[in-house]
Amino acid sequence: MAEVADRLRAATAALGGVSGTPRLDAELLLAHALGMARHELLLRQRDLSVPAAFDGLIGRRLTGEPVAYITGTRDFWTISLQVTPDVLIPRPDSETLIEAAVEHFAGRAPETILDLGTGSGALLLAALDQWRQARGLGVDISPGALAVAADNAARLGFSDRAAFRMGDWADGIGENFDLILINPPYIARSAPLSGDVLHEPEGALFAGAEGYDDYRRIAPQLPRLLRPDGLAAVEIGFDQREGVSALFTAQGLEVGVRHDLAGHDRCLAVRACPSVRQDLQG
Ligand code: GLN
């Protein structure tokens, strides 16, 4: 029966106007309507028929609603996360932060991890999946986001290694950490936006006139939070390397940069200054 193939083709054509990935979106929404994974749908499509709910899901996508909010899930690194409109949808770009951490800790593992602005918990929980002995703290100012993150930790079986706390960046946090992961809001207030971001929480996206407001809050907190041989992996906008690096180097920190898959500057790899690291070795 060609029903699945035909309906996917028609849905892909319809979604071309609202999405940069219409075929993928159609497949993810049909798999969701069938209650199966996308790869299962693709393998079994000749034996399947299209459930009535599919049209409704495509209709929601046609209004611009992001696929991840319709299906309620998004994959990130090695894990699958529940997402709601209370949280930013995890992006593949942000996996650059985990890559930076994997490189930094080559041959050893971070024991303690801090995720500032944890949202869905994506970065913290991906790191806890990567390093199975590590423990972590996720901080967010949004109670709705913290509920999503705690739920994700429980679903992944990480509740005993993950704690969550409401907070305004690192205010009131006295501990220090081997690995700090931060994907703050960094979009300039006046930036013209389209697509999924129009449906995402503003508090997770915008950071003042130029997008630097939250980096300015975070930078002075990092020296006390970061262990001497630790790493802070900080997401940045593609054109923010110089501006954000300067905020961290002004705190005596050392900064490297990592690119995302598109080749854009995406992650600052922030370490303690060389003299602090040398004291550790000596
Ligand atoms: N990377 C996101 C975007 O450009 C923004 C997320 C953020 O501000 N942290 O859509």
pTM of the model: 0.95
Give the CA angle between residues 103, 135, 251 to the nearest 5°: 60
Q: What is the mean pLDDT of each run of 10 residues along the chain (282 residues)?
A: 89 96 98 97 95 98 98 98 98 98 96 98 98 98 98 98 98 97 97 93 96 98 97 98 98 97 97 81 58
Listed residue (15, 30, 156) closest to 81, CA to CA: 156
Listed residue (98, 89, 96, 97) closest to 120, CA to CA: 89
Which residue puts its alpha carbon closest to atom 6 of ligand 1? 205
The answer to whether the CB of 183 is under 6 A from ligand 1 is yes
Q: Is 89 exposed, middle or buried (0-12, 13-18, 19+ CB in 10 A)?
A: buried
Given this model, what pLDDT does residue 63 score?
96
With residue 114 as reference, give the H or E element that holds it.
Answer: strand 112-116
Q: What CA–CA distances, in Å, run from 163 to 73, 78, 149, 232, 270? A: 21, 20, 10, 19, 24
Given this model, what pLDDT does residue 116 score?
98
Given this model, what pLDDT does residue 282 score?
54
Given this model, what pLDDT does residue 31 score?
98
Cα-to-centroid distance, 9 and ligand 1 (Å): 31
Give the span between the Cα atoms of 28 and 71, in whole angstroms. Answer: 8
Cα-to-centroid distance, 102 and ligand 1 (Å): 22
The answer to whether the CB of 187 is under 6 A from ligand 1 is yes
The answer to whether the CB of 94 is under 6 A from ligand 1 is no
Given this model, what pLDDT does residue 165 score?
98
Question: 230-277: per-residue pLDDT in tens?
Answer: 999 999 999 999 999 999 999 999 999 999 999 999 999 999 987 877
Given this model, what pLDDT does residue 273 score?
84
Give the span between the Cα atoms of 252 and 273, in whole angstroms. Answer: 6
Question: 128-141: per-residue pLDDT in tens?
Answer: 999 999 999 999 99
| DSSP E strands, 46-87 | 73-76, 79-82
Describe the crossing of helices 3-15 and 53-62 by its angle, rounded to 10 degrees. Answer: 20
The answer to whether the CB of 267 is under 6 A from ligand 1 is no
The answer to whether the CB of 188 is under 6 A from ligand 1 is no
Atom of ligand 1 nearest to the CA of 186: 8
Domains, in order of start, for the chain: 2-64 (1.10.8), 77-281 (3.40.50.150)
The answer to whether the CB of 230 falls within 8 A of the CB of 177 is yes
The answer to whether the CB of 185 is under 6 A from ligand 1 is yes
Given this model, what pLDDT does residue 281 score?
63
